[in-house]
Chains A and B, each alone.
Chain A
């Protein structure tokens, strides 16, 4: 047993876990932020232009919905490969942690768009109608009604998105990136050091738990409905 953990808990490995945690958080947080930068406007457009939305616009809704669905149905590993040329253009290289952000964002953005769309669609129709009866413009309804009313649900969506993105980070090792996931795969699969795999995974689980917990309590704290 001691032997089993000896290398896994050596000073060198501890330093690796430390840097892996930072890299994992870097990849997750940055790609989540960028996915939201793209996903929020997309989600808003999807919900607003829906036939029951505040500004129905069927062609825009159909085309955008189709693109989002296509992007969502490509398996991540394949998207990773397909995105390589784009990655090269955007980041200047096809490998490394930063290069890995491109497929992460590309896969998360449409997912985020759908989550934002569904959060906005949950907003009480009556409240929207009240705002319309007061002469609000569509933009005012989006900024002052839809987004603030959907905030608690959007925060929960954010936590879910982060967890999903975190689940993709082990694949960073396919493009020479690292992080907890990559370490777990490297050592668990290729070098047969299961102890390291378990410890790296444990850290991943802890990070997921923290993200979920923070997301839930933040959502509860901002929600004034209860």
Chain B
């Protein structure tokens, strides 16, 4: 589809928080996302599952504008994410547009990616001060409140190297929230953690779901957790959504052969 065929904005009565419209992504000849269509509603928690290499991370990274887009358009709250209007048609966006759009999205990574030369508190304050232009005092209040929420307030002056994986991940969540995003992305945030600390991180995400009206997209291998907290499960297979459904339906009565295979394989591994 030509870029000119896409709407400059989505109509007010059809504005999901996130819409992937015919999105394609490839590395050379390897097609990673193949004509992807996906809507995520305001306040919805969607879990993305699927075999390794199926394109789950890529979906999140494209939303975070960490990867370029090869085809299609992504809309955030009705506005194109990596495109902008010029002379009545969409063209690839410039940096200013990307920065404006990125402001509503936050992301947590598998390997936390905390800044090693800053304390937990400084990590959280960095964005609010440097990017949002908050005063140090405001940023500190906001960050301390979030560190309290993730249970890390008593470690706020520690550098990441002195924190366990679970603690680092909780700081990373606080750091992302400090930017007050409307959409949060979690890419296997518990995969690099020791089993005994996974709970402390999932607990934080559980609270986010319960107490905030964030729109969330989470890639995870923890089926039980996904089932507990998601509004919807998206099963990716080879760059396409093979099946999506509400958790109960998805786990108790999967429709597709591949989904059933995958769920069996995961169960066997447990």
A associates with B: no
